[in-house]
Chains A and B, each alone.
Chain A
Protein backbone atom coordinates (compact mmCIF):
# COMPACT_ATOMS: atom_id res chain seq x y z
CA UNK A 1 0.00 0.00 0.00
CA UNK A 2 2.84 2.40 0.92
CA UNK A 3 4.57 1.61 -2.39
CA UNK A 4 1.38 2.36 -4.28
CA UNK A 5 0.89 5.62 -2.42
CA UNK A 6 4.45 6.68 -3.23
CA UNK A 7 3.79 5.90 -6.89
CA UNK A 8 0.56 7.87 -6.84
CA UNK A 9 2.15 10.92 -5.23
CA UNK A 10 5.05 10.70 -7.66
CA UNK A 11 2.64 10.69 -10.61
CA UNK A 12 0.68 13.65 -9.21
CA UNK A 13 3.88 15.59 -8.61
CA UNK A 14 4.97 15.05 -12.22
CA UNK A 15 1.75 16.30 -13.79
CA UNK A 16 1.76 19.97 -14.79
CA UNK A 17 -1.94 20.39 -13.99
CA UNK A 18 -1.18 19.72 -10.31
CA UNK A 19 0.58 23.07 -10.06
CA UNK A 20 -2.26 25.04 -11.63
CA UNK A 21 -4.04 24.98 -8.29
CA UNK A 22 -1.01 26.25 -6.38
CA UNK A 23 -0.38 29.00 -8.91
CA UNK A 24 -4.07 30.01 -8.88
CA UNK A 25 -4.14 30.25 -5.08
CA UNK A 26 -0.93 32.26 -4.98
CA UNK A 27 -2.22 34.62 -7.66
CA UNK A 28 -5.53 35.26 -5.89
CA UNK A 29 -3.85 35.76 -2.52
CA UNK A 30 -1.29 38.18 -3.93
CA UNK A 31 -4.04 40.20 -5.64
CA UNK A 32 -5.93 40.43 -2.33
CA UNK A 33 -2.82 41.44 -0.44
CA UNK A 34 -1.89 44.04 -3.03
CA UNK A 35 -5.42 45.49 -3.06
CA UNK A 36 -5.64 45.71 0.71
CA UNK A 37 -2.16 47.14 1.01
CA UNK A 38 -3.07 49.81 -1.50
CA UNK A 39 -6.62 50.63 -0.39
CA UNK A 40 -7.69 48.49 2.55
CA UNK A 41 -9.06 51.40 4.53
CA UNK A 42 -11.94 51.91 2.06
CA UNK A 43 -13.01 48.30 2.59
CA UNK A 44 -12.76 48.75 6.34
CA UNK A 45 -14.86 51.90 6.27
CA UNK A 46 -17.52 50.12 4.27
CA UNK A 47 -17.63 47.18 6.67
CA UNK A 48 -17.74 49.41 9.73
CA UNK A 49 -20.39 51.73 8.29
CA UNK A 50 -23.31 50.01 9.93
CA UNK A 51 -21.70 49.49 13.30
CA UNK A 52 -19.17 52.24 13.78
CA UNK A 53 -21.47 54.17 16.07
CA UNK A 54 -21.50 51.27 18.51
CA UNK A 55 -17.86 50.22 18.45
CA UNK A 56 -14.48 51.88 18.65
CA UNK A 57 -11.23 50.26 17.59
CA UNK A 58 -8.61 52.83 18.30
CA UNK A 59 -6.16 50.40 19.71
CA UNK A 60 -6.68 47.73 17.02
CA UNK A 61 -4.90 47.82 13.72
CA UNK A 62 -7.94 46.38 11.92
CA UNK A 63 -6.23 45.39 8.68
CA UNK A 64 -3.64 42.99 9.93
CA UNK A 65 -2.37 39.55 8.86
CA UNK A 66 -5.02 37.61 10.78
CA UNK A 67 -7.85 39.68 9.37
CA UNK A 68 -6.44 39.42 5.85
CA UNK A 69 -6.28 35.64 6.05
CA UNK A 70 -9.90 35.49 7.20
CA UNK A 71 -11.02 37.63 4.27
CA UNK A 72 -9.01 35.55 1.81
CA UNK A 73 -10.31 32.26 3.18
CA UNK A 74 -13.87 33.52 2.96
CA UNK A 75 -13.39 33.98 -0.76
CA UNK A 76 -11.00 31.18 -1.60
CA UNK A 77 -12.64 28.30 0.22
CA UNK A 78 -15.58 28.65 -2.14
CA UNK A 79 -13.32 28.31 -5.21
CA UNK A 80 -10.89 25.71 -3.90
CA UNK A 81 -13.31 22.80 -4.48
CA UNK A 82 -12.80 23.40 -8.19
CA UNK A 83 -9.05 23.12 -7.74
CA UNK A 84 -9.44 19.94 -5.69
CA UNK A 85 -11.73 18.49 -8.35
CA UNK A 86 -9.10 19.25 -10.98
CA UNK A 87 -6.84 16.60 -9.52
CA UNK A 88 -9.23 14.21 -7.76
CA UNK A 89 -11.59 13.87 -10.73
CA UNK A 90 -8.63 12.82 -12.82
CA UNK A 91 -7.76 9.94 -10.49
CA UNK A 92 -9.42 7.07 -12.34
CA UNK A 93 -10.72 8.77 -15.48
CA UNK A 94 -7.26 10.14 -16.28
CA UNK A 95 -5.81 6.63 -16.10
CA UNK A 96 -8.64 5.37 -18.30
CA UNK A 97 -8.01 8.15 -20.78
CA UNK A 98 -4.29 7.43 -20.96
CA UNK A 99 -4.95 3.70 -21.20
CA UNK A 100 -2.88 3.00 -18.10
CA UNK A 101 -5.86 1.83 -16.07
CA UNK A 102 -5.98 -1.56 -17.78
CA UNK A 103 -2.24 -1.99 -17.33
CA UNK A 104 -2.49 -1.03 -13.67
CA UNK A 105 -5.36 -3.44 -13.07
CA UNK A 106 -3.52 -6.30 -14.77
CA UNK A 107 -0.94 -6.02 -11.99
CA UNK A 108 -1.36 -7.86 -8.68
CA UNK A 109 -3.08 -4.96 -6.95
CA UNK A 110 -6.63 -5.12 -5.68
CA UNK A 111 -9.15 -2.61 -6.92
CA UNK A 112 -9.96 -1.59 -3.35
CA UNK A 113 -6.29 -0.74 -2.82
CA UNK A 114 -6.31 1.44 -5.92
CA UNK A 115 -9.34 3.42 -4.77
CA UNK A 116 -7.99 3.83 -1.24
CA UNK A 117 -4.58 4.94 -2.50
CA UNK A 118 -6.12 7.35 -5.00
CA UNK A 119 -8.28 8.77 -2.24
CA UNK A 120 -5.35 9.17 0.17
CA UNK A 121 -3.31 10.84 -2.57
CA UNK A 122 -6.18 13.25 -3.30
CA UNK A 123 -6.46 13.98 0.42
CA UNK A 124 -2.73 14.69 0.65
CA UNK A 125 -3.05 16.99 -2.35
CA UNK A 126 -5.93 18.80 -0.62
CA UNK A 127 -3.90 19.09 2.55
CA UNK A 128 -0.94 20.50 0.64
CA UNK A 129 -3.23 23.04 -1.01
CA UNK A 130 -4.38 24.21 2.39
CA UNK A 131 -0.82 24.29 3.72
CA UNK A 132 0.03 26.45 0.72
CA UNK A 133 -2.96 28.65 1.53
CA UNK A 134 -1.77 28.92 5.11
CA UNK A 135 1.70 29.94 3.94
CA UNK A 136 0.50 32.52 1.45
CA UNK A 137 -2.71 33.79 3.04
CA UNK A 138 -1.76 33.61 6.70
CA UNK A 139 1.99 33.72 7.21
CA UNK A 140 2.76 35.99 4.28
CA UNK A 141 -0.09 38.31 5.31
CA UNK A 142 1.27 38.36 8.87
CA UNK A 143 4.63 39.36 7.40
CA UNK A 144 3.16 42.06 5.15
CA UNK A 145 0.45 43.48 7.41
CA UNK A 146 1.72 42.60 10.88
CA UNK A 147 -0.42 41.13 13.67
CA UNK A 148 -2.94 42.53 16.08
CA UNK A 149 -6.30 41.58 17.52
CA UNK A 150 -8.64 40.17 14.94
CA UNK A 151 -12.02 41.59 14.03
CA UNK A 152 -14.71 39.35 12.63
CA UNK A 153 -17.73 40.81 10.87
CA UNK A 154 -20.74 38.60 11.20
CA UNK A 155 -24.42 38.72 10.35
CA UNK A 156 -26.40 36.79 12.92
CA UNK A 157 -30.11 36.77 12.35
CA UNK A 158 -31.06 40.32 11.50
CA UNK A 159 -28.17 42.01 13.22
CA UNK A 160 -24.59 42.70 12.28
CA UNK A 161 -21.95 41.83 14.81
CA UNK A 162 -18.28 42.50 15.21
CA UNK A 163 -16.33 40.00 17.24
CA UNK A 164 -12.91 40.83 18.58
CA UNK A 165 -10.38 38.06 19.20
CA UNK A 166 -7.16 38.94 20.97
CA UNK A 167 -4.04 38.30 18.93
CA UNK A 168 -2.77 35.62 21.33
CA UNK A 169 -6.04 33.71 20.86
CA UNK A 170 -6.03 33.55 17.06
CA UNK A 171 -3.41 31.13 15.83
CA UNK A 172 -4.93 27.93 17.25
CA UNK A 173 -8.21 28.92 15.63
CA UNK A 174 -6.51 29.07 12.26
CA UNK A 175 -4.93 25.66 12.72
CA UNK A 176 -8.34 24.26 13.67
CA UNK A 177 -10.02 26.06 10.76
CA UNK A 178 -7.50 24.73 8.24
CA UNK A 179 -7.97 21.25 9.71
CA UNK A 180 -11.74 21.57 9.32
CA UNK A 181 -11.35 22.90 5.78
CA UNK A 182 -9.18 19.88 4.92
CA UNK A 183 -11.98 17.55 6.00
CA UNK A 184 -14.57 19.60 4.11
CA UNK A 185 -12.54 19.68 0.92
CA UNK A 186 -11.79 15.97 1.25
CA UNK A 187 -15.53 15.41 0.75
CA UNK A 188 -15.15 17.15 -2.62
CA UNK A 189 -12.14 14.95 -3.39
CA UNK A 190 -14.12 11.81 -2.50
CA UNK A 191 -17.05 12.96 -4.65
CA UNK A 192 -14.74 13.71 -7.59
CA UNK A 193 -13.07 10.32 -7.18
CA UNK A 194 -16.44 8.56 -7.28
CA UNK A 195 -17.46 10.42 -10.42
CA UNK A 196 -14.13 9.72 -12.07
CA UNK A 197 -14.89 5.98 -12.02
CA UNK A 198 -17.67 6.46 -14.55
CA UNK A 199 -15.73 8.48 -17.12
CA UNK A 200 -13.10 7.89 -19.77
CA UNK A 201 -11.63 11.38 -19.47
CA UNK A 202 -11.33 13.86 -16.65
CA UNK A 203 -13.35 16.75 -18.10
CA UNK A 204 -16.71 15.10 -17.40
CA UNK A 205 -16.08 14.33 -13.73
CA UNK A 206 -14.53 17.76 -13.11
CA UNK A 207 -17.58 19.50 -14.56
CA UNK A 208 -19.95 17.10 -12.79
CA UNK A 209 -18.24 17.69 -9.43
CA UNK A 210 -18.36 21.46 -9.82
CA UNK A 211 -22.02 21.31 -10.92
CA UNK A 212 -22.97 19.20 -7.91
CA UNK A 213 -21.14 21.58 -5.57
CA UNK A 214 -22.86 24.60 -7.16
CA UNK A 215 -26.34 23.05 -7.10
CA UNK A 216 -25.95 21.83 -3.52
CA UNK A 217 -24.55 25.21 -2.42
CA UNK A 218 -27.54 26.99 -3.94
CA UNK A 219 -29.91 24.61 -2.19
CA UNK A 220 -27.97 25.11 1.05
CA UNK A 221 -28.61 28.84 0.76
CA UNK A 222 -32.35 28.61 0.15
CA UNK A 223 -34.07 29.67 3.33
CA UNK A 224 -37.34 27.79 3.19
CA UNK A 225 -38.36 25.75 6.26
CA UNK A 226 -39.10 22.57 4.34
CA UNK A 227 -35.60 22.62 2.82
CA UNK A 228 -34.02 23.77 6.09
CA UNK A 229 -35.42 20.76 7.91
CA UNK A 230 -35.44 18.01 5.32
CA UNK A 231 -32.70 18.69 2.78
CA UNK A 232 -29.98 20.92 4.18
CA UNK A 233 -28.93 18.62 7.04
CA UNK A 234 -27.99 15.97 4.46
CA UNK A 235 -26.06 18.20 2.07
CA UNK A 236 -22.32 18.37 2.56
CA UNK A 237 -22.33 21.92 1.20
CA UNK A 238 -24.27 23.01 4.29
CA UNK A 239 -21.11 22.31 6.28
CA UNK A 240 -18.37 23.52 3.92
CA UNK A 241 -18.09 26.89 5.65
CA UNK A 242 -18.24 25.38 9.12
CA UNK A 243 -14.59 26.40 9.63
CA UNK A 244 -15.88 29.88 10.46
CA UNK A 245 -17.23 28.45 13.70
CA UNK A 246 -13.69 28.48 15.10
CA UNK A 247 -13.74 32.29 14.90
CA UNK A 248 -17.12 32.73 16.56
CA UNK A 249 -15.90 33.33 20.06
CA UNK A 250 -18.21 32.85 23.04
CA UNK A 251 -19.05 35.93 25.05
CA UNK A 252 -20.09 36.65 28.60
CA UNK A 253 -23.54 37.97 29.41
CA UNK A 254 -22.00 41.42 29.19
CA UNK A 255 -20.85 40.71 25.67
CA UNK A 256 -17.17 40.34 26.57
CA UNK A 257 -15.33 37.72 24.49
CA UNK A 258 -14.08 34.72 26.45
CA UNK A 259 -10.53 33.90 25.45
CA UNK A 260 -10.01 30.37 24.11
CA UNK A 261 -13.73 29.69 23.80
CA UNK A 262 -16.03 28.72 20.96
CA UNK A 263 -19.61 29.83 20.66
CA UNK A 264 -20.91 26.47 19.47
CA UNK A 265 -18.41 23.63 19.59
CA UNK A 266 -21.11 20.96 19.41
CA UNK A 267 -22.29 22.35 16.03
CA UNK A 268 -18.73 22.23 14.69
CA UNK A 269 -18.26 18.68 16.00
CA UNK A 270 -21.54 17.53 14.46
CA UNK A 271 -20.59 19.13 11.14
CA UNK A 272 -17.27 17.28 11.21
CA UNK A 273 -19.01 13.97 11.87
CA UNK A 274 -21.40 14.57 8.99
CA UNK A 275 -18.55 15.47 6.63
CA UNK A 276 -16.56 12.41 7.69
CA UNK A 277 -19.70 10.33 7.18
CA UNK A 278 -19.93 11.69 3.63
CA UNK A 279 -16.28 10.80 3.01
CA UNK A 280 -16.70 7.24 4.30
CA UNK A 281 -19.89 6.81 2.29
CA UNK A 282 -18.45 8.16 -0.95
CA UNK A 283 -15.21 6.16 -0.71
CA UNK A 284 -17.09 2.96 0.16
CA UNK A 285 -19.42 3.51 -2.77
CA UNK A 286 -16.41 4.11 -5.02
CA UNK A 287 -14.85 0.81 -3.94
CA UNK A 288 -18.07 -1.13 -4.45
CA UNK A 289 -18.66 0.31 -7.91
CA UNK A 290 -15.05 0.04 -9.04
CA UNK A 291 -14.79 -3.59 -7.95
CA UNK A 292 -17.71 -4.50 -10.21
CA UNK A 293 -16.71 -2.37 -13.14
CA UNK A 294 -15.63 -3.91 -16.43
CA UNK A 295 -12.56 -2.12 -17.72
CA UNK A 296 -13.21 -1.42 -21.39
CA UNK A 297 -10.94 1.59 -21.84
Chain B
Protein backbone atom coordinates (compact mmCIF):
# COMPACT_ATOMS: atom_id res chain seq x y z
CA UNK B 1 0.00 0.00 0.00
CA UNK B 2 1.57 3.27 -1.09
CA UNK B 3 1.93 6.14 1.31
CA UNK B 4 0.30 9.40 0.24
CA UNK B 5 1.23 11.58 3.23
CA UNK B 6 4.22 11.05 5.46
CA UNK B 7 4.76 13.50 8.26
CA UNK B 8 7.93 13.27 10.34
CA UNK B 9 8.55 15.05 13.61
CA UNK B 10 6.50 18.06 12.61
CA UNK B 11 6.46 21.00 15.01
CA UNK B 12 5.12 24.51 14.84
CA UNK B 13 5.81 27.20 17.37
CA UNK B 14 4.15 30.60 17.51
CA UNK B 15 6.56 32.57 19.69
CA UNK B 16 6.37 30.69 23.01
CA UNK B 17 3.31 28.62 22.15
CA UNK B 18 3.82 25.19 20.64
CA UNK B 19 0.79 24.43 18.48
CA UNK B 20 2.13 21.19 17.03
CA UNK B 21 4.73 19.17 18.86
CA UNK B 22 6.87 16.55 17.16
CA UNK B 23 3.97 15.02 15.25
CA UNK B 24 4.46 12.02 12.97
CA UNK B 25 1.88 10.07 11.00
CA UNK B 26 1.25 8.44 7.66
CA UNK B 27 -1.77 8.35 5.41
CA UNK B 28 -2.02 5.53 2.89
CA UNK B 29 -3.56 5.63 -0.57
CA UNK B 30 -7.32 5.16 -0.41
CA UNK B 31 -7.52 5.91 3.30
CA UNK B 32 -10.23 7.99 4.84
CA UNK B 33 -7.98 9.29 7.55
CA UNK B 34 -9.64 10.81 10.59
CA UNK B 35 -7.85 13.65 12.26
CA UNK B 36 -9.26 13.98 15.73
CA UNK B 37 -8.74 16.39 18.51
CA UNK B 38 -10.51 18.90 20.65
CA UNK B 39 -10.70 22.52 19.57
CA UNK B 40 -7.19 23.96 19.80
CA UNK B 41 -5.52 20.55 19.68
CA UNK B 42 -3.47 21.51 16.62
CA UNK B 43 -5.53 19.90 13.86
CA UNK B 44 -6.01 23.02 11.77
CA UNK B 45 -2.39 24.08 12.21
CA UNK B 46 -1.27 20.66 10.97
CA UNK B 47 -3.66 20.78 8.03
CA UNK B 48 -2.48 24.27 7.15
CA UNK B 49 1.09 22.98 7.16
CA UNK B 50 0.02 20.17 4.80
CA UNK B 51 -1.32 22.87 2.47
CA UNK B 52 1.74 25.16 2.84
CA UNK B 53 -0.33 27.90 4.45
CA UNK B 54 1.88 27.72 7.52
CA UNK B 55 5.57 26.96 7.53
CA UNK B 56 6.66 24.26 9.97
CA UNK B 57 9.21 25.22 12.61
CA UNK B 58 10.80 21.78 12.28
CA UNK B 59 9.97 18.49 10.65
CA UNK B 60 9.33 17.16 7.21
CA UNK B 61 6.24 16.58 5.10
CA UNK B 62 6.24 14.23 2.14
CA UNK B 63 3.16 13.99 -0.07
CA UNK B 64 2.97 11.68 -3.10
CA UNK B 65 6.56 10.74 -2.24
CA UNK B 66 7.72 14.29 -2.88
CA UNK B 67 8.98 16.84 -0.41
CA UNK B 68 6.24 19.41 0.10
CA UNK B 69 8.53 22.41 0.40
CA UNK B 70 10.34 21.76 -2.86
CA UNK B 71 7.42 20.34 -4.87
CA UNK B 72 4.61 22.53 -3.63
CA UNK B 73 3.05 23.28 -7.00
CA UNK B 74 3.02 19.67 -8.23
CA UNK B 75 1.58 18.42 -4.95
CA UNK B 76 -1.13 21.06 -4.72
CA UNK B 77 -2.20 20.28 -8.30
CA UNK B 78 -3.23 16.88 -6.97
CA UNK B 79 -4.73 18.15 -3.74
CA UNK B 80 -8.13 19.64 -2.97
CA UNK B 81 -9.08 21.19 0.32
CA UNK B 82 -11.82 22.72 2.38
CA UNK B 83 -10.19 24.58 5.25
CA UNK B 84 -12.53 25.24 8.16
CA UNK B 85 -15.59 27.06 6.86
CA UNK B 86 -15.64 27.25 3.08
CA UNK B 87 -15.44 30.98 2.54
CA UNK B 88 -15.92 31.95 -1.06
CA UNK B 89 -16.44 35.19 -2.97
CA UNK B 90 -19.85 36.17 -1.64
CA UNK B 91 -20.46 38.76 -4.35
CA UNK B 92 -19.98 36.16 -7.10
CA UNK B 93 -22.26 33.35 -8.21
CA UNK B 94 -21.64 29.70 -7.42
CA UNK B 95 -20.68 29.13 -11.04
CA UNK B 96 -18.22 32.03 -11.08
CA UNK B 97 -16.62 30.86 -7.84
CA UNK B 98 -16.18 27.37 -9.20
CA UNK B 99 -14.84 28.69 -12.50
CA UNK B 100 -12.30 30.93 -10.73
CA UNK B 101 -10.95 28.18 -8.51
CA UNK B 102 -10.86 25.72 -11.41
CA UNK B 103 -8.62 28.16 -13.27
CA UNK B 104 -6.48 28.63 -10.17
CA UNK B 105 -6.12 24.87 -9.96
CA UNK B 106 -4.62 24.95 -13.43
CA UNK B 107 -7.33 23.13 -15.37
CA UNK B 108 -9.22 24.19 -18.45
CA UNK B 109 -12.77 23.95 -17.27
CA UNK B 110 -15.76 23.72 -19.55
CA UNK B 111 -19.27 24.81 -18.73
CA UNK B 112 -20.31 21.15 -18.78
CA UNK B 113 -17.63 20.17 -16.27
CA UNK B 114 -18.53 23.00 -13.92
CA UNK B 115 -22.25 22.30 -14.12
CA UNK B 116 -21.61 18.59 -13.50
CA UNK B 117 -19.61 19.52 -10.45
CA UNK B 118 -22.42 21.72 -9.17
CA UNK B 119 -24.89 18.94 -9.97
CA UNK B 120 -22.81 16.55 -7.85
CA UNK B 121 -23.23 18.76 -4.80
CA UNK B 122 -26.85 19.59 -5.60
CA UNK B 123 -26.31 23.22 -6.53
CA UNK B 124 -26.91 23.15 -10.30
CA UNK B 125 -30.23 24.96 -9.89
CA UNK B 126 -28.53 27.76 -7.94
CA UNK B 127 -25.51 28.10 -10.26
CA UNK B 128 -26.21 31.74 -11.14
CA UNK B 129 -27.14 32.83 -7.61
CA UNK B 130 -24.69 34.84 -5.56
CA UNK B 131 -23.03 32.96 -2.72
CA UNK B 132 -24.16 35.60 -0.24
CA UNK B 133 -27.69 34.19 -0.62
CA UNK B 134 -26.57 30.66 0.29
CA UNK B 135 -27.08 28.86 3.58
CA UNK B 136 -24.07 27.51 5.48
CA UNK B 137 -24.79 24.03 4.18
CA UNK B 138 -24.90 25.21 0.58
CA UNK B 139 -21.63 27.07 1.04
CA UNK B 140 -20.11 23.92 2.48
CA UNK B 141 -21.26 21.91 -0.52
CA UNK B 142 -19.93 24.53 -2.90
CA UNK B 143 -16.64 24.48 -0.99
CA UNK B 144 -16.43 20.75 -1.59
CA UNK B 145 -17.20 21.24 -5.29
CA UNK B 146 -14.33 23.76 -5.39
CA UNK B 147 -12.05 21.25 -3.67
CA UNK B 148 -12.93 18.53 -6.17
CA UNK B 149 -13.19 20.52 -9.39
CA UNK B 150 -9.71 19.57 -10.60
CA UNK B 151 -10.21 15.89 -9.72
CA UNK B 152 -7.47 15.71 -7.07
CA UNK B 153 -6.13 12.44 -5.69
CA UNK B 154 -5.85 13.79 -2.16
CA UNK B 155 -8.70 15.64 -0.48
CA UNK B 156 -8.25 17.43 2.82
CA UNK B 157 -11.41 18.44 4.65
CA UNK B 158 -11.01 20.46 7.81
CA UNK B 159 -14.13 20.16 9.97
CA UNK B 160 -16.39 19.70 6.90
CA UNK B 161 -19.60 19.21 8.88
CA UNK B 162 -19.31 22.37 10.96
CA UNK B 163 -22.54 24.31 10.94
CA UNK B 164 -24.47 21.76 8.93
CA UNK B 165 -27.93 20.42 9.67
CA UNK B 166 -28.36 16.64 10.13
CA UNK B 167 -29.19 16.13 6.45
CA UNK B 168 -26.15 18.16 5.42
CA UNK B 169 -23.94 16.10 7.72
CA UNK B 170 -25.28 12.88 6.21
CA UNK B 171 -24.71 14.21 2.68
CA UNK B 172 -21.10 15.13 3.43
CA UNK B 173 -20.53 11.78 5.09
CA UNK B 174 -21.90 9.93 2.08
CA UNK B 175 -19.82 12.05 -0.24
CA UNK B 176 -16.63 11.26 1.69
CA UNK B 177 -17.39 7.54 1.59
CA UNK B 178 -18.19 7.73 -2.11
CA UNK B 179 -14.95 9.59 -2.85
CA UNK B 180 -12.98 6.86 -1.17
CA UNK B 181 -14.88 3.76 -2.27
CA UNK B 182 -16.09 4.72 -5.72
CA UNK B 183 -13.35 7.04 -6.88
CA UNK B 184 -10.35 5.73 -4.97
CA UNK B 185 -9.47 9.09 -3.47
CA UNK B 186 -7.46 9.57 -0.33
CA UNK B 187 -9.33 11.73 2.14
CA UNK B 188 -8.06 13.40 5.29
CA UNK B 189 -10.94 14.61 7.39
CA UNK B 190 -10.58 16.46 10.65
CA UNK B 191 -13.19 16.77 13.34
CA UNK B 192 -13.57 17.27 17.04
CA UNK B 193 -16.47 14.80 16.97
CA UNK B 194 -15.50 11.16 17.24
CA UNK B 195 -18.96 10.09 16.23
CA UNK B 196 -18.36 11.70 12.83
CA UNK B 197 -15.00 10.05 12.30
CA UNK B 198 -16.27 6.66 13.42
CA UNK B 199 -18.69 6.62 10.53
CA UNK B 200 -16.32 7.51 7.71
CA UNK B 201 -12.67 6.88 8.61
CA UNK B 202 -10.76 3.63 8.31
CA UNK B 203 -7.67 5.04 10.05
CA UNK B 204 -7.34 7.81 12.55
CA UNK B 205 -5.05 9.85 14.69
CA UNK B 206 -5.96 11.61 17.91
CA UNK B 207 -3.94 14.66 18.81
CA UNK B 208 -3.99 16.72 21.94
CA UNK B 209 -1.97 19.83 22.76
CA UNK B 210 -0.24 19.35 19.42
CA UNK B 211 1.00 15.87 20.25
CA UNK B 212 -0.01 12.53 18.86
CA UNK B 213 -1.90 10.48 21.39
CA UNK B 214 -2.89 7.50 19.33
CA UNK B 215 -2.85 6.47 15.69
CA UNK B 216 -4.29 3.35 14.21
CA UNK B 217 -7.12 1.54 12.52
CA UNK B 218 -10.51 2.72 13.59
CA UNK B 219 -11.78 -0.86 13.42
CA UNK B 220 -9.14 -1.99 15.90
CA UNK B 221 -9.75 0.91 18.21
CA UNK B 222 -13.44 0.22 18.03
CA UNK B 223 -13.10 -3.55 18.22
CA UNK B 224 -16.05 -4.66 20.39
CA UNK B 225 -14.01 -7.58 21.68
CA UNK B 226 -11.53 -5.15 23.18
CA UNK B 227 -12.07 -2.85 26.07
CA UNK B 228 -10.33 0.10 27.54
CA UNK B 229 -10.39 -0.30 31.28
CA UNK B 230 -9.22 1.96 34.01
CA UNK B 231 -8.06 0.61 37.35
CA UNK B 232 -8.22 2.44 40.62
CA UNK B 233 -6.18 0.94 43.45
CA UNK B 234 -4.94 1.90 46.89
CA UNK B 235 -1.38 2.07 45.51
CA UNK B 236 -1.13 2.58 41.77
CA UNK B 237 2.67 2.41 41.74
CA UNK B 238 2.66 -0.97 43.43
CA UNK B 239 -0.07 -2.15 41.06
CA UNK B 240 1.95 -1.05 38.06
CA UNK B 241 5.03 -2.90 39.38
CA UNK B 242 2.95 -6.03 39.71
CA UNK B 243 1.54 -5.65 36.20
CA UNK B 244 5.05 -5.37 34.79
CA UNK B 245 5.79 -8.88 35.90
CA UNK B 246 2.83 -10.31 34.03
CA UNK B 247 1.53 -10.70 30.47
CA UNK B 248 -0.83 -7.75 31.14
CA UNK B 249 1.99 -5.30 30.69
CA UNK B 250 1.49 -5.46 26.90
CA UNK B 251 -1.95 -3.92 27.31
CA UNK B 252 -0.92 -1.16 29.67
CA UNK B 253 -1.13 2.32 28.10
CA UNK B 254 2.21 4.05 28.60
CA UNK B 255 2.70 7.58 29.85
CA UNK B 256 -0.60 7.87 31.63
CA UNK B 257 -1.06 8.90 35.22
CA UNK B 258 -3.94 6.45 35.55
CA UNK B 259 -3.74 2.72 35.08
CA UNK B 260 -5.37 2.14 31.71
CA UNK B 261 -5.31 -1.03 29.65
CA UNK B 262 -6.64 -1.76 26.17
CA UNK B 263 -7.24 -5.50 26.22
CA UNK B 264 -9.57 -8.30 25.14
CA UNK B 265 -12.78 -7.96 27.05
CA UNK B 266 -13.02 -11.64 27.92
CA UNK B 267 -9.68 -11.55 29.72
CA UNK B 268 -10.73 -8.86 32.19
CA UNK B 269 -11.86 -11.39 34.89
CA UNK B 270 -8.49 -13.11 34.69
CA UNK B 271 -6.73 -9.76 35.12
CA UNK B 272 -8.73 -9.07 38.26
CA UNK B 273 -7.90 -12.51 39.64
CA UNK B 274 -4.21 -12.03 38.96
CA UNK B 275 -4.13 -8.60 40.55
CA UNK B 276 -5.89 -9.84 43.66
CA UNK B 277 -3.50 -12.78 43.89
CA UNK B 278 -0.62 -10.30 43.78
CA UNK B 279 -2.14 -8.40 46.69
CA UNK B 280 -3.16 -5.38 44.64
CA UNK B 281 -6.03 -3.74 46.45
CA UNK B 282 -8.57 -2.76 43.83
CA UNK B 283 -10.92 0.09 44.55
CA UNK B 284 -12.66 0.08 41.18
CA UNK B 285 -12.39 -1.12 37.63
CA UNK B 286 -14.11 1.00 34.99
CA UNK B 287 -14.67 -0.28 31.47
CA UNK B 288 -14.82 2.34 28.71
CA UNK B 289 -16.06 0.63 25.62
CA UNK B 290 -16.86 3.45 23.26
CA UNK B 291 -14.28 5.24 21.23
CA UNK B 292 -15.71 8.48 22.50
CA UNK B 293 -14.84 7.50 26.08
CA UNK B 294 -11.44 6.43 24.92
CA UNK B 295 -10.97 9.79 23.24
CA UNK B 296 -12.23 11.68 26.25
CA UNK B 297 -10.09 9.68 28.65
CA UNK B 298 -7.04 10.54 26.63
CA UNK B 299 -7.76 14.16 25.96
CA UNK B 300 -8.94 14.92 29.47
CA UNK B 301 -5.59 13.87 30.80
CA UNK B 302 -2.97 16.47 29.88
CA UNK B 303 -0.03 14.21 30.61
CA UNK B 304 -1.25 11.41 28.40
CA UNK B 305 0.94 10.57 25.46
CA UNK B 306 0.31 7.33 23.62
CA UNK B 307 2.33 6.40 20.58
CA UNK B 308 0.67 4.21 18.00
CA UNK B 309 -1.33 2.17 20.42
CA UNK B 310 -3.12 0.22 17.77
CA UNK B 311 -1.05 0.70 14.68
Q: Which residues of A contact B (CB under 8 A)?
A: 3-4, 6-7, 10-11, 14-16, 98-100, 102-110, 292, 294-296
Contacts and interface: CB of A to CB of B under 8 A. Distances in A.
Interface of B: 14, 48, 51-55, 72-74, 76-77, 79, 81, 83-92, 96, 100-101, 103-106, 143, 146
A16 B52 CA distance: 32
Given A102-B84, A103-B83, 8 more contacts: A3-B104, A99-B84, A102-B48, A103-B81, A103-B143, A108-B74, A110-B73, A295-B54
A10 B91 contact: no
Contacts of A110: 72-73
B55 A109 contact: no
Contacts of A6: 103
Nearest to B12: A294
B105 A107 contact: yes
Contacts of B54: 294-296
Summarize A's interface: helix, strand, loop or mixed.
helix
Contact of A7 (B51, B83, B84, B100): B100
Contact of B100 (A10, A16, A105): A10
27 contacts: A4-B104, A6-B103, A7-B104, A14-B91, A98-B89, A99-B87, A100-B89, A102-B84, A103-B83, A103-B146, A105-B51, A105-B52, A106-B51, A106-B52, A106-B53, A106-B76, A106-B81, A107-B76, A107-B105, A108-B72, A108-B74, A108-B106, A294-B14, A294-B48, A294-B53, A294-B54, A295-B53
Contacts of B143: 103
Given A7-B103, A294-B55, A106 B73 contact: no
Contacts of A295: 48, 53-54
B73 to A, nearest CB: 4
A288 to B, nearest CB: 14
A106 B88 contact: no
Most chain B CB neighbours (cut-off 10 Å) among A11, A100, A108, A294: A108
A10 B86 CA distance: 21
Contacts of A103: 81, 83, 86-88, 101, 143, 146
A100 B73 CA distance: 18
Contacts of A14: 89, 91-92, 96
Please provide the 3 A-B residue pairs with the shortest distance between their CB atoms, ordered closest to farther. Answer: A99-B87, A295-B53, A108-B76
Nearest to A102: B83
A287 to B, nearest CB: 16
